[in-house]
Amino acid sequence: DTGVSQNPRHKITKRGQNVTFRCDPISEHNRLYWYRQTLGQGPEFLTYFQNEAQLEKSRLLSDRFSAERPKGSFSTLEIQRTEQGDSAMYLCASSLEKGEAGYTFGSGTRLTVV
């Protein structure tokens, strides 16, 4: 297993466009998380899935954001009508049922909205 994989690594988009990121977790991990990290800050929780069920969403996740995890495998995070404030690193992580051993993070997708 090669760990948590995120694609693309970098995305530059014009304001108002829609973007979609993909995350492939470690295969045996049933929990998947999305975090956002802006410059000079630590990661901020966005949402998490247990298998295919999205169990919690942060209020940071506005109506323009949607995440899915069909069949409990890979996940996608879509941002509609991007704004400059959406520019950030979007991190995906996965873990086993009990995450006290910590998550395994992917390398992230860096989004730049111009």
C-beta separation of 96 from 102 below 8 A: no
> H helices then E strands: how many in the chain?
0, 11
C-beta separation of 69 from 56 below 8 A: no
36 binds other proteins (CB under 8 A): no
Phi-psi region of 85 (alpha: psi -120 to 50; beta: other; left: phi over 0): alpha
Binding map of other proteins across residues 42-81, x = CB under 8 A, - = no contact: xxxx--x------xx-x-----------------------
Burial of 59 (0-12, 13-18, 19+ CB in 10 A): exposed
Q: Which of 34, 65, 103, 113 binds other proteins (CB under 8 A)?
A: 103
Closest CB to other proteins among 33 and 65? 33
Q: Which of 11, 21, 26, 31 binds other proteins (CB under 8 A)?
A: 31
12 binds other proteins (CB under 8 A): no
Binding site for other proteins (CB under 8 A): 4, 31, 33, 35, 40-45, 48, 55-56, 58, 91, 93, 95, 98-108
